Amino acid sequence: MIGDLDSMDYAENESRLQEVYRRLHALEHERRVVSSAEGLEALEREIRAETDRLASVLLERQVQANLDSAEQPAAEAELIAAWPGRLKSEGRERVRIRTVEGGEIELRVRYYRRRCDRRRGKRYRGVYAGLVLMGIHERCTPWLGAQVSAWSALLSSFAEVVQVLADHGLVLGVKTVRQLSYRYAERARAVQHSAGVAWAEGDTMRGRRVVISGDGGRVRLREPKRGPKTRKGRRRYRGAWREPKLFIVYVVDAQGKLAKCFAPVLDGTLRGPDAWLSLLRGYLQSLRLEQADQVLFVADGAHWIWNRVGTLVKALGLDRQRVHELIDFYHAVEHLGKVAALRQSWSAKERRRWVRQHRQLLLKGHVESVMEAVRALCRGRHTKAVTTERNYFIRHQQRMDYPTMKTLGLPLGSGAVESAIRRVVNLRLKGSCLFWYRENADKMLMLRSYYKAGRWNLLKKMANSHLSLLAT
């Protein structure tokens, strides 16, 4: 019966293939008069439609041939053996898969499932093992899944993604686009947590000068509110501001400039500083940071960062002689400006002169002189505010060795992570009337971070791996 079914499917595929060839042959010999841009566009679209049909027919034939190969049952059996629980084959089922050309292909795939676990009251989904091995998730080819997720990360809304897809001949709804993108990030994160990140061979930290920086942004989350629903039956919610915490890891050359040979590592989370530290630690361990020549931690004065740097250095087993901690120079100067602004008896010119003078002292490493100058201003009704600024310099005195950083050719500021906050958070997750569920914001944060860091191919590799489903 299966053999007869295969023959029928092959004959149908061959018939469609010959029909596409006939249409292409007709287009090849047709001499259509084109005298306008509209006419040329129509001709181009017609040719594109026929080539897309050809691609779909050929793809269906190739994928089905692989599913029917002699080696396929053994590969599927190995995957099912590693799958949680005991699954059994229910035979072949017909599955329609969306392709990047905008069409669909129909495949016959073995379906594995396990029966309802009545003790837990749960019903587990089955799995198409052959599709999983090929990286086909959510009934989409890997290319389509990557394309939709990349546009979701790049564009400012899912509605824009739908419009761009429609312009390319792909008709998908907003809910479908959203689901594909979130599941894509979910699978990639699952592989990252279970198996780590498979870095490229050139991503080793041996002998390199590494800079690590962290910062926080602002996003509004959709948090449920207790109480009755609205008249339309909608659940009320609060739009609370929360801080997504990002980090960036990059390599600099001898002049302290970003090295082009190493794509930055960029990621973040909305689950608090401890989750941020755990995520950063996982990346640095997989990158073998202990092999770096110099390591610089640079950030503003946020307590949630500096309270955890020591723990991170100890956990990674780094050599303290090669680790440097630095307060962003421009944030330190900003605090000098706050001190000068409190002296209301000064003119604007006197304030600028005072800031400029002590900025030079700070740059030359005379932190104690700056502290004494600030302490001298602790009088009058603004004493408490000036004391707060003075304590800032006292607390971070050991992190203001700017001359040494200049000698070592290391950067003095954390502009890289501040730029990342703008590009990753502000231009995608932050906006008027834009609210996120926490888990969805985390997923979009990952997609956008990898895309902006130039590591999208690495994310694709993790999301398409069958390990992602085993991990979840």
Q: What is the pLDDT of residues 38-93, one digit of tens each?
A: 999 898 888 888 898 899 999 999 999 999 999 999 999 999 988 887 888 889 99
Sequence length of the chain is 472
Q: How far apart are CA 465 and CA 413, in angstroms?
A: 38
Q: What is the mean pLDDT of the chain?
A: 90
Q: How far apart are CA 105 and CA 139, in angstroms?
A: 10
**Residue, of 29 and 121, whose pLDDT is higher:** 29
Q: Strand, helix or coil at 46?
A: helix
Q: Strand, helix or coil at 106?
A: strand
Q: Are 268 and 445 in contact (CB under 8 A)?
A: yes
Query: How many CA within 13 A on the CB side of residue 228?
Result: 3
C-alpha Rg value of the chain to the nearest Å:
29
Distances in Å between the alpha carbon of 161 and those of 24, 183, 242? 31, 16, 26
417, two tokens: 């992570």
Per-position b or e across 130-139, b if 16+ CB within 10 A of its CB: bbbbbbbbeb
H/E stretch holding 32 reads: none
> Is the model's pLDDT at 157 over the cut of 60?
yes
Compute the Cα dihedral for 88, 92, 94, 97 and give only its sign. Answer: positive
10, two tokens: 């092959």
- Write out pLDDT tens, residues 369-423: 999 999 988 877 788 898 999 999 999 999 999 999 999 999 999 999 999 999 9
- Write out pLDDT tens, residues 281-290: 999 999 999 9
pLDDT at residue 471, rounded to an integer: 59
Q: Are 386 and 339 in contact (CB under 8 A)?
A: yes
H/E stretch holding 79 reads: helix 72-82
Q: Are 190 and 471 in contact (CB under 8 A)?
A: yes
> Between the CA atoms of 255, 257, 258 and 261, what dihedral angle is there, to the nearest 10 degrees?
-30
Helical ranges in 205-326 per DSSP H? 273-286, 303-316
Q: How far apart are CA 329 and CA 399, in angstroms?
A: 10
Q: What residue type is assigned to position 42 of the chain? A: A
Q: Are 142 and 135 in contact (CB under 8 A)?
A: yes
H/E stretch holding 225 reads: none
Q: Are 182 and 161 in contact (CB under 8 A)?
A: no
pLDDT band, very low/low/confident/very high, at 469 (cuts 50, 70, 90): low
Q: What residue type is assigned to position 172 of the chain? A: L
pLDDT band, very low/low/confident/very high, at 165 (cuts 50, 70, 90): very high
pLDDT band, very low/low/confident/very high, at 450 (cuts 50, 70, 90): very high
pLDDT band, very low/low/confident/very high, at 274 (cuts 50, 70, 90): very high
> Is the model's pLDDT at 122 over the cut of 60?
no
Q: How far apart are CA 307 and CA 465, in angstroms?
A: 36
For the chain, how many helices (H) and strands (E)?
18, 9
pLDDT at residue 1, rounded to an integer: 39
Helical ranges in 294-366 per DSSP H? 303-316, 329-342, 348-363
Q: What residue type is assigned to position 311 of the chain? A: T
| Pick from 76, 197, 57: nearest CA to 129 | 76
| Pick from 296, 289, 218: nearest CA to 252 | 296
157, two tokens: 């809304």
pLDDT at residue 102, rounded to an integer: 87
- Write out pLDDT tens, residues 98-119: 999 888 999 999 999 876 544 4
